[in-house]
């Protein structure tokens, strides 16, 4: 049995910048390992099964949808274009409220 075809995942430069800052801050407050593990898990899920989150709304560029997903202690919003097997993360990944970040 063949492995499923992975989705193409892209991150905006702004998202990369915020992730770097978030990682530094997480290390400063003793949550570096948890944040790094969450980032890796989010990326893995987006490549293999981006439907792990919940759809928020359809976008005007159909059939794309805006989704939100949580991997403790982080929240990710992303655009999923199922027909093209593309995932675009353009909104910064943020910490869950009250997680200590």
> In this structure, are residues 92 and 21 in contact, taking their beta carbons and an 8 Å threshold?
no
Does the pLDDT value for residue 62 go beyond 80?
no
* pLDDT given at position 8: 97
Would residue 85 count as lying in a domain? yes
Would residue 100 count as lying in a domain? no
* Average pLDDT over every residue of 14-40: 95
pLDDT in tens, 35-57: 999 999 999 999 999 999 899 87
Beta strands 86-89 and 8-11 are: parallel
- Residue 15, helix vs strand vs coil: helix
Would residue 15 count as lying in a domain? yes
| Residue 22, domain CATH | 3.30.2310.20
Would residue 2 count as lying in a domain? no
Query: Per DSSP, which regions of 12-92 are E strands?
Result: 54-58, 65-71, 74-81, 86-89
- Total domains in the fold of the chain: 1
Q: What angle do CA 73, 47, 96 make, to 5 degrees?
A: 15
Can you give the pTM of this predicted structure? 0.89
Cα(25)–Cα(53) distance, rounded to whole angstroms?
25
Cα(19)–Cα(5) distance, rounded to whole angstroms?
27
Least confident of 29-38, 67-76, 91-100: 91-100
Would residue 101 count as lying in a domain? no
């Amino acid at each position: 049995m063949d492995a499923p075809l992975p989705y193409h995942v892209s991150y905006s430069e702004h998202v990369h910048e915020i992730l770097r800052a978030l990682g530094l801050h997480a290390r400063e407050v003793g949550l570096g390992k948890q944040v790094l593990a969450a980032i890796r898990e989010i990326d893995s899920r987006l490549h293999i099964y981006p439907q792990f989150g919940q759809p928020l709304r359809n976008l005007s560029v159909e059939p794309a949808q805006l989704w939100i997903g949580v991997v403790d202690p982080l929240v990710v919003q992303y655009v999923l274009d199922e027909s093209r097997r593309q995932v675009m993360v353009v909104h910064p990944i943020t910490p869950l409220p009250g997680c200590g970040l």
